[in-house]
Amino acid sequence: MGIAKLDQYGLLQVAGENARAFLHAQLTNDIEHLAPGTARYAGWCSAKGRLLATFLVVPSSGGFLLQLARDLVPAVAKRLSMFVLRSKVKIADATGLWAQYGRWVAGDGNPLSVSESGGAITVRIDADRCLILALESPANNYSPDASAEDWALAEIRAGRPLIAQATQDQFVPQMVNLELTGGVDFKKGCYPGQEIVARAQYRGAVKRRMVRLRGAALQAGQEIFTDDTPGQASGTVVNASGDEALAVLQVSAIEANAPVRAGPQCAALEVLTLPYSR
């Protein structure tokens, strides 16, 4: 497997003198101390602590690029701009300026390390994958031999959530394991919804958690059922690709090892491990 064009993602550019401080005040992770040449996962929450978007925050020569679900770009750009006020910050839809590719690679590399050269930004996602953001030019033309679904499946197996339009404003970060994938800093201070996110963490108030499933073609936002609550939805699909998915389920159902189904009368789905633990 070599390279895939990633049309499922969009990009926002956040630039200006106060861009770093602005993002630090809005996102669930520490952007103020983000080291040069390093990317970071983060979420953006409503005042009620529900995720409005998940981002990969990538420093660039023009400020910061935020990778997010493509179908969220217009709404998130508009809503995020409402918080700029008098800050020296400009937020723009940069989706059309950069082509996004996923490349499977060999060799060592620091996770989330960033390099920029010749109009292309490369982010090391994990041991065998890199994200490439490429400005349109002959030197940056790639010939995909894999699919966006292959990349999405790799993200599912890594246990990384992608909030999209179908799942926006439904989950606090811990429900989708965002703190386990490096997307939440509990020491960084205030941001929208911070008190609710902190309360969920320290008072054990998270009653739903994300798991990995296999056995049916599912869709983001689809309801999931478990046998411990017959006829009643027990969870929601977050991401899906092929016959695998990430879904948020009731913790009680997970702990009881209750069979999980795409519908009340459907065959049980296989619950698979994630590469991290709670």
Confidence tier at 176 by pLDDT (50, 70, 90) = very high
Report the first-to-last Cα separation within the chain, whole angstroms.
Answer: 31
Domains of the chain (ranges; CATH) run: 3-157 (3.30.1360.120), 165-272 (2.40.30.160)
Average pLDDT of the chain is 94
Tokens matching residue 139: 């030197």
HEC per residue, 186-218: CCCCCCCCHHHHHHHHHCCCCCEEEEEEECCCC
Q: Which residue has the higher pLDDT, 44 or 119?
A: 44
Per-residue model confidence as pLDDT tens digits over 102-129: 999 987 889 999 999 988 999 999 999 9
pLDDT tops 60 at residue 139: no
Q: Which pLDDT belongs to residue 138? A: 58
- For residue 136, pLDDT over 80 is answered with no
